[in-house]
Chains A and B, each alone.
Chain A
């Protein structure tokens, strides 16, 4: 790791101030990707501004079916929130299967979505839940937030402070883990609302990162059952290929995980 300066921000405002004062600063909100990358000397921020201890970014609030999760909330806290489990158990389950206990006690939801790793779990949930990404400057619809591999709509010193969504009627997430890293090789989050609207979001598989699958959504709007997906074709040409899974296999996994998610919802 190259030398870096660590700052623990006390507030969102303090964090922005620190970032703007830094030469090549970087926010850290758990550091589950950033710190290993720095250890490999593949990233060399001059300053690390830690968002994890900012009070206003903590905690989960559930009001009716309306959910707000502070961006610095750890995966463990999301996984074990009784209030959240009562309205959206799928998100608790997703959080409870990220990494291992160490990761779940360090990593945060804001860190995960701001990083937008193409194999991360949370981005699929954000898209499928139609979540709103709240920053210190604005609110961004999840559909507009994830813009490519490790790319988001965030600008400069902008900070994700919370995410909000209305809990769907039914939802589930199923992922097939990479045998080595145990990140998703294909993860599918399905969510159905009382008005019949369905969203299906796929992570781990897309060549351009997380995406929604319109054909699967349409098929499930017409018929909310795993079998409805049998005849939907998944275009392998838009999927990742690597030593663990080629695009054709990922296309198969996307459909299988989607069916299993519908069955589990």
Chain B
């Protein structure tokens, strides 16, 4: 590795821009004639729309126009769709109810968009939006998924009887039931995974520009995957054909999954731009973000884990109800199925697993992927069950895990996944050592003397990144392929542009992708630029989510670099009259091995473009592209240990230490990886301790601001102890596994296991607020 190559702790190139306020986000974009949009949203969780009267609003100062759902329908704009088909176990397809970008018949959650107001200023648009009179006939409401399945409850979509979207299963029910029947011990537990609001620092925004000269649309948007946005808006929403629609996702301030999806606002602003003849910009305020950004998680599961007399797991049965909200968001069906149940084997050799998942409509915001997407749900369920089992069996939680670890690879689980590499015991040992696990008893005694209850908990997680291969996900119902693309352009002066189909919204791609190039050619990091986020500049790509940019996106870059390197060597060999196989690239020079002959990198590049002296038959230029479709998921894993003190008088939990020992495969930039782990831990701790979306019985969102939705703050968090012990991934050229979500996946169960250990009561749900912890501690006494 060089000082700027693979493995180097290079400071992030993009941070100067971000930290000095020079980032360019969607809301920073301004074009001549641009006007501002405000959406009229439903104040009711469920109602019929009898009439939309915008006559008064249209006459208000500054108002360009007010457009409603009937006009949108008349113009042929399509329904929002879910792009992953799941079939119920009876063979019937999932019941996808109509989601109109602007509702014209029925609203199904508070915040459902009904009309768009376009005006000269945001304030005028807001004034006019208040003057739009919508005549609603209120309908009964259901917000709880378990309740929504019961007979006689309010029905959201005519397609979905009893609000059931699908009733899906994975694994062998008979074998699992047999294992449970024959078990020496069965641990049973009900697991709740709380509903979360994604809260990216930058709220969603979009700018729709219609050019009637070319009949062409441009959409600036806060997207994690602009090409997918263009594809979906063209193929399904009938906004414009792909060649007439440019989607640009400029700097994006965090996504966490919530900016994967195409929301009504992008579609409606593009359409409204054509309708009104002016560019239309909309920027979400924070309340709208709480109301309308796709939420995460919201599962209730019943779990049975069966053990033999040697404490080996012989079966796992899971019955999950997942709340998908009022409509099926873009990947909502995949999250509680193939991104969840396929991870239920965890790090353990479990011969029989059966999972049943029912997904349900309710009068709440749509639910989709949120940092981890399915894997946190599986990990929380599994690791709380393991901890509970250890307590019931009277064995140490570490020993119970050790006894059950998978130890040889590849390992085929009973739930589709084939784990390629790992060393779970190495992470467990590293975490226990870092946490001084063996010294805990003394620390607990000391805490006791101060009137505090101290607890320790662990979590051994596995996750799956770089969802793939395309043919496999296609056979499971995915509507898209999950490969990635790259193009490497060497300019005539030797500087290099890498065009990637992945998208950075906080991950540091401008640095890490450049490190790959610096490492390969020995050129300065500063001579490499990463281009992404614009469908007119970059070839089709699939974007960034599921920790795929390293494992999949970088692999595509490597393939393109291979091609560039081969051609560069040919040119250099020709220039030096040497044999191509003798050329080595070092420190920005192409050298003839074993001699002092060398051509500087820039000179080779210039030769490629002057084309005065190229090998016979060679095309001029130096630019190569590649598509990479992985052979398998990657499987990051690790062990997290959390130690807490609970104040029994108030239920306040203080995290004393948090240890994360991860296996991410090979690492490009350890500093960025640590940053990703820190951020993931903060989000996981937020879920476990603080965050929770609450709707009241009428479907009003009670947590619609930071006054009531508790985000983790710096003083809620300890100084993390992070380390890695890595087994390279054998399935991609760099041996990368991915690190973007691990922190959020592995941390909640470690923290809850620590608290339940401290208070001696396992009946605790997330978020473990002081009130809940206090009540649980009282109940334990």
Contacts and interface: CB of A to CB of B under 8 A. Distances in A.
Interface in B688-714: 689-690, 694, 702-703, 706-711
Contacts of B709: 180
B774 interface: yes
Contacts of A2: 127
A243 B774 contact: no
A244 interface: yes
Contacts of A243: 694, 702-703, 708
B538 interface: no
Interface in A217-244: 243-244
Interface string B635-665: 0000000000000011110000000000000
Contacts of A165: none
Given A243-B703, A249-B775, A252-B774, A180 B287 contact: no
A256 interface: yes
A244 B769 contact: yes
User: Contact residue range for chain A?
Assistant: 10 to 19
A231 to B, nearest CB: 16
A180 B689 CA distance: 11
Contact of A246 (B651, B689, B706, B771): B771
Interface residues of B, number: 25
B706 A40 contact: no
A176 B770 contact: yes
Contacts of B710: 178-180
B770 A179 contact: yes
Main secondary structure of the interface of A (DSSP, over half): loop
A81 B702 CA distance: 39
Given A245-B771, A253-B650, A180 B702 contact: no
A249 B774 contact: yes
A40 B709 CA distance: 16
Contacts of B650: 176, 252-253, 256
Interface string B764-776: 0000011100110
A181 B706 contact: yes
Interface in B669-691: 689-690
Contacts of B652: 176
A176 B287 CA distance: 26
Q: Give the residue among B690, B694, B769, B775 with the most A Cβ atoms within 10 A.
A: B769
Interface in B93-127: 123, 126-127
From A40, A178, A179, name the one whose CB has the most chain B CB atoms within 10 angstroms. A179
B284 to A, nearest CB: 15
Interface in B611-653: 649-652
Contacts of B707: 180-181, 183
A256 B769 CA distance: 17
Nearest to A257: B650
Interface in A164-212: 176, 178-181, 183
Contacts of A176: 650, 652, 770
Given A243-B703, A256-B649, A181 B708 contact: yes
A183 B702 CA distance: 17
Contact of A180 (B649, B706, B774): B706
Contacts of A246: 771
Interface string B705-747: 0111111000000000000000000000000000000000000
Nearest to B692: A243
A1 B126 CA distance: 9
A2 B123 CA distance: 8
A254 B650 CA distance: 10
A178 B711 CA distance: 12
A40 B287 contact: yes
A171 B361 CA distance: 54
A249 B774 CA distance: 8
Given A243-B702, A243-B703, A252-B774, A179 B649 contact: no
B706 A179 contact: no
Contacts of B771: 244-246, 249
A245 B771 CA distance: 6
Contacts of A180: 690, 703, 706-711
B716 to A, nearest CB: 8
A158 to B, nearest CB: 29
B132 to A, nearest CB: 15
Nearest to A2: B127
Contacts of A1: 123
Nearest to A181: B707
Interface in A75-108: none
Interface string A250-265: 0011001000000000
Nearest to A245: B771
A179 B769 contact: yes
A42 to B, nearest CB: 11
Contacts of A181: 706-708
A256 B702 CA distance: 28
A249 B649 CA distance: 10
Nearest to B775: A249
Interface in B744-781: 769-771, 774-775
In this complex, the member of B650, B652, B709, B710 whose beta carbon has the largest number of chain A beta carbons within 10 angstroms is B650
Interface in A1-54: 1-3, 40-41
Contacts of A253: 650
Contacts of A252: 649-650, 774
Nearest to A100: B713
Contacts of A245: 770-771
Interface string B187-218: 00000000000000000000000000000000
Nearest to B287: A40
A183 to B, nearest CB: 8
A252 B708 CA distance: 21
B126 to A, nearest CB: 8
Of A176, A178, A243, A256, chain B has the most CB atoms within 10 Å of the CB of A243
Contacts of A41: 126, 130
A72 to B, nearest CB: 25
A245 B774 CA distance: 11
B717 to A, nearest CB: 13
Contacts of B651: 249
A176 B650 CA distance: 8
8 contacts: A2-B127, A178-B710, A180-B707, A180-B710, A243-B694, A243-B708, A244-B708, A252-B774
Given A179-B769, A256-B649, 7 more contacts: A2-B127, A176-B650, A176-B770, A181-B706, A243-B703, A249-B775, A252-B650
Interface of A: 1-3, 40-41, 176, 178-181, 183, 243-246, 249, 252-253, 256
Sort A-B residue pairs by CB-CB distance and give the 3 closest, nearest first. A180-B710, A179-B710, A181-B707
